[in-house]
Amino acid sequence: MIERLARAGVRVNVTAILALDQVRDICPRLAGGPSSYVSVFAGRIADTGRDPMPIMAAAVELLRPYPNLELLWASPRELLNIFQADTIGCHIITVTHDVLKKLNLVGKDLHEYSLETVKMFYDDAQKAGYTL
Buried/exposed code over 50-68 (b: 16+ C-beta within 10 A; e: otherwise)? eebbebbeebbebbeebee
The predicted-structure confidence for 33-49, as pLDDT tens digits, reads as follows 999 999 999 999 999 99
The answer to whether residue 18 scores a pLDDT higher than 90 is yes
The domain that holds 44 is classified in CATH as 3.20.20.70
> Does residue 70 lie in a domain region?
yes
> Does residue 45 lie in a domain region?
yes
The predicted-structure confidence for 20-31, as pLDDT tens digits, reads as follows 999 999 999 999
> Does residue 127 lie in a domain region?
no
> Does residue 122 lie in a domain region?
no
Q: Are strands 13-17 and 69-74 parallel, antiparallel or unpaired?
A: unpaired
> Does residue 50 lie in a domain region?
yes
**Number of domains into which the chain is organized:** 1
DSSP3 helix / strand / coil % (the chain, rounded to 5): 55, 15, 30
Return the pLDDT at 48.
98
Q: Give the three-class secondary structure for 1.
A: coil
> Does residue 121 lie in a domain region?
no
Q: Give the three-class secondary structure for 132.
A: coil
The answer to whether residue 95 scores a pLDDT higher than 90 is yes
> Does residue 27 lie in a domain region?
yes
> Does residue 111 lie in a domain region?
no
The predicted-structure confidence for 99-109, as pLDDT tens digits, reads as follows 999 999 999 99
- Residue 75: give the domain boundaries: 2-105
Return the pLDDT at 4.
96
